[in-house]
Chain A
Amino acid sequence: MKLERLVKKAQKGNDKAYLMLFQQYEADIYRMAYVYVKNKEDALDLVQEVAYQSFKKIGTLKKPEYFKTWLMKITINCALNLINQNKKVIPLNSDFEVLTGSEDEDIALTLSLQMLIDTLKEDEKSVILLKYYDNRTLKEISEILDIPLGTAKSVLYRALGKLRQNLKEVGNYG
């Protein structure tokens, strides 16, 4: 079924239509969430939270063609909220988590993903994800994130610079 039809149905409260619609994007949402929260459990919580919030607010979506972008915006906001909440909690077993987390992963394979996740700050992740994962222009990014165009640009260049810097360091070891 067409996206617009599903959005219209969902806006009338049809949960089955919305589930069909949402499931097309849940993998994208999960991956974006993962970049921010760095673990499976929190990322899954975020998928559920985004499903909940987006269906509640679907009535406010005016243009169905912006559905994906609108979901991405909700995902980013939810992720940032969760990170802020978690900051108030002091992790007691952080060393232990790092140890188990990296054990069964192929280091060479996940290096640049890890780099993206670990070296960038939240606002940089948002800009990078929207630019390269969702193919948004800088102007659109500034609108989605509610920041001036100039800020979006400088955040993007700063993020790219960090990634390049890291790539070089990795190259030196290789």
Chain B
Amino acid sequence: MDNQLKQELSKIEIPAEIHERSKLGIHKAKSEMGGKLNHFVKKRLAMAVVAACLMIPTGAFAYQALLADDLYGSFDNLKKHVVNVTMESYLLFNAKLDQAKGDLGKEEFEQFKDLLNVFTSAKLEYGSKNGNIDYSQVPAEPLEKIKAALYEIQPYFDKLNGLPSSKEVLTAEEYDQYIQALMTYETTMAQLGITGAPDVSSIPAESQEAFIKAQEYLNYVNEKQIGN
């Protein structure tokens, strides 16, 4: 009976278009999954942008009603440097810091805050009115310093975003590329003077390719982080 049934079934001819149909089904599923993933990436990038925008401190630390005041002195103080900041985004950032304090534990949080401080002079000096840095305009020496700080701080951002640390998920080489991609992304936003995800067609042709590559790499890392 065993072999007989298999023999009988093998008489059913397999049409040539069967591969095509398998592909169609899988592609349809993939495109629907892709939608979800993109949404996630966008959301995450938006959070990173909010954090990046607000990472501008001042020297004067006034009485701290908000955690964010610890870094910026006060909202008014920040407003002087970052024209496009709103009270809403400032409070949102404060909430993010509150969460960080709870999530990271005291010592980690102190380290995190120290790293944020490393950014500060650079942001103040090179940041656009949205708080983004055009890294192509930064001299080599400070650029190295900023990059080193980015290296250290990215795992904290990952943690706050509820993702496994990109530094652990990726190889050293891949991690290097990831940081590079993040910088390319920010540079593009600074050059275009925008705060949201850039529209590819609005980017000048000569830097379009680099941007698309960076964006693809960010997506790749995100997929890897979600997958693990």
Q: Is the CB of B29 within 8 A of A34?
A: no
By a CB distance below 8 angstroms, the chain A residues around B14 are 27, 30-31
Which among B9, B12, B24, B224 is the interface contact of A51 at CB below 8 angstroms? B24
B2 interfacial by beta-carbon distance below 8 Å? yes
Interface-forming stretch among B30-38, B87-95, B114-122, B147-155?
Answer: B30-38
Q: Is the CB of B30 within 8 A of A55?
A: yes
**Chain B interface bracket (under 10, 10 to 19, 20 to 34, 35 or more):** 20 to 34
Q: Is the CB of A55 within 8 A of B9?
A: no
- The binding surface of chain A is classed by DSSP as helix
Which among B2, B26, B224, B227 is the interface contact of A132 at CB below 8 angstroms? B2
Interchain nearest-CB distance for A172 vs B (Å):
20
A15 interfacial by beta-carbon distance below 8 Å? yes
By a CB distance below 8 angstroms, the chain B residues around A52 are 25-26, 28-29
A109 interfacial by beta-carbon distance below 8 Å? yes
Q: Known: A13-B33, A13-B37. Contact between A51 and B26, CB under 8 A?
A: yes
Interchain nearest-CB distance for A82 vs B (Å):
14
Q: Is the CB of A15 within 8 A of B25?
A: no
Q: Which residue of B lies closest to A49 (CB)?
A: B25
Interface-forming stretch among A17-25, A60-68, A84-92, A139-147?
Answer: A17-25
By a CB distance below 8 angstroms, the chain A residues around B18 are 26-27, 30, 44, 47
B21 interfacial by beta-carbon distance below 8 Å? yes
By a CB distance below 8 angstroms, the chain B residues around A44 are 15, 17-18, 21
Q: Which residue of A lies closest to B224 (CB)?
A: A12
Interchain nearest-CB distance for A112 vs B (Å):
6
Which among B5, B15, B22, B37 is the interface contact of A23 at CB below 8 angstroms? B22
Q: How many residues of A contact B (CB 8 A)?
A: 37
Which among B5, B17, B227 is the interface contact of A128 at CB below 8 angstroms? B5
In the assembled complex, the Cα of A170 lies from the Cα of B226 at a distance in Å of 59
By a CB distance below 8 angstroms, the chain B residues around A112 are 4, 8
Q: Which residue of B lies closest to A33 (CB)?
A: B12
In the assembled complex, the Cα of A48 lies from the Cα of B223 at a distance in Å of 25
By a CB distance below 8 angstroms, the chain A residues around B32 are 56
By a CB distance below 8 angstroms, the chain B residues around A47 are 18, 21-22, 25
By a CB distance below 8 angstroms, the chain A residues around B2 are 132, 135
Q: Which residue of B lies closest to A57 (CB)?
A: B29
Q: Which residue of A lies closest to B227 (CB)?
A: A12
Q: Which residue of B lies closest to A32 (CB)?
A: B9
By a CB distance below 8 angstroms, the chain B residues around A7 are none
Which among A26, A31, A45 is the interface contact of B12 at CB below 8 angstroms? A31
In the assembled complex, the Cα of A132 lies from the Cα of B4 at a distance in Å of 9
Q: Which 7 pairs between the two chains have the least Cβ-Cβ distance?
A: A51-B25, A12-B227, A52-B25, A55-B29, A48-B25, A132-B5, A48-B21
Q: Spell out B's residues near A (CB within 8 Å).
A: 1-2, 4-6, 8-12, 14-15, 17-19, 21-30, 32-33, 37, 223-224, 226-227
Instruction: Taking A19-B23, A30-B18, A55-B29 as given, write out 20 further A-B residue pairs in contact, using a Cβ cutoff of 8 Å, ordered by the A residue number.
Output: A12-B224, A13-B37, A13-B223, A15-B26, A19-B22, A23-B19, A31-B9, A47-B18, A47-B22, A47-B25, A48-B25, A52-B26, A53-B29, A55-B25, A56-B29, A56-B32, A109-B11, A112-B4, A113-B12, A135-B2
Can you list 10 A-B pairs, Cβ within 8 angstroms, ordered by A? Answer: A13-B37, A18-B26, A23-B19, A44-B18, A48-B22, A52-B26, A109-B11, A116-B8, A135-B2, A160-B1
